Amino acid sequence: MTVPTRLRWLWLTLAVVLVDRATKAWFESQTVEGWHHELIHNFVYLVYSRNPGLAFGILSDSASRGTRIVLILGSIAVIAILAWLLVTSQSGGGFAVAGLALLLGGATGNVTDRIVHGAVTDFFEVWFGTYRYPAFNVADSAIAIGAAFILLDILFGRRPETPHSRS
């Protein structure tokens, strides 16, 4: 049995999970929830916050056990689909495959946090004037970059040539 060449991209997935978990573990051990530190004046901050909900704090107010279970099961389903696409899909170029690997790593990092702690640890915060972008982490960054890679592949990737039909 030959291993699909796309499996080589799992190193990127593993790297995202390991870096995400290491940075979260550092923040969890070295700071307290609510801690913040300005890195770039009025622009980038390190913070320690926990989000029991979805991205951008959606459902964070309803952090019940049922919501947590639904979010974990939904994340596991997404991870399974991403892994299947990464291994079996024949379409898309390098950007798409890298994007899938990044999405898979980010989703795995965040669901691990949700399972272990009941919430996702976030620690980066960016301000644009008076607008505060919701806190995020390495996994969230990998998800955003992965989605951008897939979009770039869809918009600008090479398409396989199809035979022209004759009339």
Tell me if residue 26 falls in helix, strand or coil. Answer: helix
E strand segments, 16-79: 36-40, 44-51
Angle at 135 between CA 133 and CA 147, to 5 degrees: 80
Which of 20, 113, 140, 153 is flagged as catalytic?
A: 140
Residue with tokens 């080589």: 8
| Nearest to 120, CA basis, from 83, 70, 72, 81 | 72
What separation, in Å, do the N-terminal and C-terminal C-alpha atoms of the chain show? Answer: 43
Which of 20, 113, 122, 153 is flagged as catalytic?
A: 122
DSSP state at residue 52: S
Residues 6+ apart with CB under 8 A from 71: 53, 54, 59, 114
Annotation says 61 is catalytic: no
Annotation says 140 is catalytic: yes
Catalytic center residues:
122, 140
